[in-house]
Structure 1
């Protein structure tokens, strides 16, 4: 830990906010794949440790900073909605605001609008210095807390995922108004899952996790699947309905290396994908800030695998 590392973490949080949390995470995936290749070919972990999972694109820095910055920007956007402050847009300035619905329509068309739960939008568009400062501060805090969870306390868990989950909850209470578990309409079921839908997810989770487990054992790298899953999220920007799978691949990777079995990797991948469906609906639906479902799932199952099961074997 050094002042240079703190500076880098501030920069990582600012840059994550600037380009958007999901974009930063996609870079984590691409740099992670490069790092895995370097580690397998030359035994060099510098790219993995200091770039992909370090202060540059480490999710505990860049993604944490971006999530907090988006939540802060969303809070500011709500205040502007309440005050009907659209005067920077000449069209809106000449619009007579009617009821609340009219305000929301105009507000949504204003380029300064930010949905605090949306991690795909680059916050460069806000041109708000405080948005970047919030991102940088949370980047530093994420870096420090991950260091506490990992090197200092040595918790048998994915400490990056635990850090992301920790700050997502803190961010929700600091900047959000929807409560920890969201505000659901009375007419909507919280868990509207059909057997067919759960079976569909169970099949792909089991199959994909088995594939990841095979690759992880062959390469002796638990995060090979995670990096591929992270990079694959780039397809979300093409408007495709595309699966978020890094919670499945990371849990599978942990199970494969810790337990030495692709079959157990497949089984835990199945557990991860089903858990993820419930976590997503519980913490990240009808909300105004982002709580990362994969981080919660990875933290939970990594602790079960690394902290409970592996020591017994």
Structure 2
């Protein structure tokens, strides 16, 4: 959307400066919750009109795109710690405007602009740009950059941050898994870090997301096809709906409830269900003709059942990968490097590539 002309690009860039600053002002997690509401609003517009501007500009663009608003808030938080104005650089809940220092919001603005440019760049990489989630990857790259720049000892100089903070590895650990095991030096979410917890959350939320995504792809897709839109338009966006609901759940996490963080699970499980259902039906994602579920026969329902099992498998995969990324980058770190974003871009690449390979 933002590469059709220089004017459109500059419009988006200026808007991204605002989005990143606002994300810092209200706090990264609050900005992400607004992403969730923007997704659901955009789905209403999309289902009614077939227009994707809500996704392109509101939910995943300069308004509340995670790579802009959330990432701007994340970078501003570690900058505030570096300047001695915030005790914990991983605090992505505090609205940073309340600290009273405009430079913190300006850092958010700059990282919002970085996210805008970076996401466009990633999406234009041959093959890779169309086989990954460029927004999620940009969230990860932005957080890594912020950690490296501002994550050192406060006031001791820039570009002294560490991705792993290896000095906090347990001294008695001899293997890498033991070194990154959650413990007193940090943990992400202790109520979803064990294999049994990850299996349960990944499978159940995965099935939930897979079913919703299939219904949206089929029913909204059939309606939009009748209106003259591309047959797979709804399917290409179907996994974002439950992702939006999962993003709103973060609001309850902010209020000190031990909510499951599972937007990486629902995003990837919904994607897997929609990608593999056409393959199970003997077609490819690009060529499959979506019809409303009211016209499915018993064979299609059986293949949909198998697609939900695929969704559960990839939901578990995404959940486990999120916990691994938390142990790798987040637990001992000085700033928030988002485990779900890391999981989404890696899992998305696996799902889309594998579906293309076997179709």
TM-score, structure 2 as length reference? 0.73
Tell me, yes or no, if the aligned pair for 2:123 and 2:134 is still in contact at 8 Å.
Answer: yes
2:243 pairs, out of 220, 226, 229, with 226
Contact 2:191 2:197 survives alignment (8 Å): no
1:166 corresponding residue in structure 2: 141
Question: What secondary structure is seen at the aligned counterpart in 2 of 1:115?
Answer: coil
- Asked if structure 2 preserves the Cα contact closer than 8 Å seen for 1:70 and 1:114, the reply is no
String of CA shifts for 1:150-189, please: whole Å, max 9, x gaps: 1464341011001011111111111113621233453685
What is the aligned partner in structure 2 of residue 238 from structure 1? 255
Alignment of 1:251-266 (within 5 A): 251-260=268-277, 261-266=307-312
Give the equivalent residue in structure 1 for 2:181.
Answer: 191
The CA distance in 2 between the partners of 1:115 and 1:28, in whole Å, is 24
Aligned to 1:206: 203
Matches within 5 A, 1:118-129: 118-129=91-102
Choose which of 157, 164, 175 in structure 2 pairs with 1:181.
164
- CA–CA distance in structure 2, aligned partners of residues 6 and 197 of structure 1: 41
Partner of 1:16: 23
Aligned CA distance change for structure 1 residues 187 and 18 (closer, same or farther; 3 Å): farther
**Matched length:** 279
2:223 match: none
Which residue of structure 1 aligns with residue 299 of structure 2?
none
Distance 1:199 1:58, change over 3 A: same
Counterpart for residue 358 of structure 2: 312
**Is the Cα contact below 8 Å between 1:13 and 1:64 reproduced in 2?**
yes
* More RCO (CA 8 Å, sep 6+): 1
Provide the residue aligned with 2:69 in structure 1. Answer: 62
Change (3 A) 1:136 1:262: same
In structure 1, what is the equivalent of residue 316 of structure 2?
Answer: 270
Paired residue for 1:89?
Answer: none
Unaligned runs of 5+ in 1: 78-111
Structure 2: distance between partners of 1:9 and 1:65: 10
RMSD: 2.1
Q: Which residue of 1 aligns with 2:345?
A: 299
* 1:259–1:310 CA contact under 8 A, matched in 2: no
Which whole-Å deviations, capped at 9, do the CAs of 1:77-123 have from their partners, x for residues lacking one? 1xxxxxxxxxxxxxxxxxxxxxxxxxxxxxxxxxx434211111111
CA deviation profile, 1:204-224 (whole Å, cap 9, x unmatched): 210110110011011011211
* 1:162 match: secondary structure: helix
1:137-159 CA deviation, whole Å, 9 max, x = no partner? 11011001101111464341011
Please list every run of 5 or more consecutive structure 2 residues that lacks an aligned counterpart in the other structure. 3-8, 153-160, 183-189, 218-237, 278-306
1:248 aligns with 2:265: yes
User: How many angstroms apart in 2 are the aligned matches of 1:20 and 1:287?
Assistant: 19
On the 8 A contact 1:149/1:155 being kept in 2, the answer is: no
Q: Equivalent residue of 1:170, what SS?
A: helix
User: Does the 8 Å contact 2:192/2:260 carry over to 1?
Assistant: no
Q: Is the 8 A contact 1:16 1:62 kept in 2?
A: yes
In structure 2, what is the Cα distance between the partners aligned to 1:146 and 1:119? 22
8 Å contact from structure 1 (residues 30, 231) kept in 2: yes
TM-score using structure 1 length: 0.84
Q: Distance in 2 between matches of 1:203 and 1:37?
A: 31
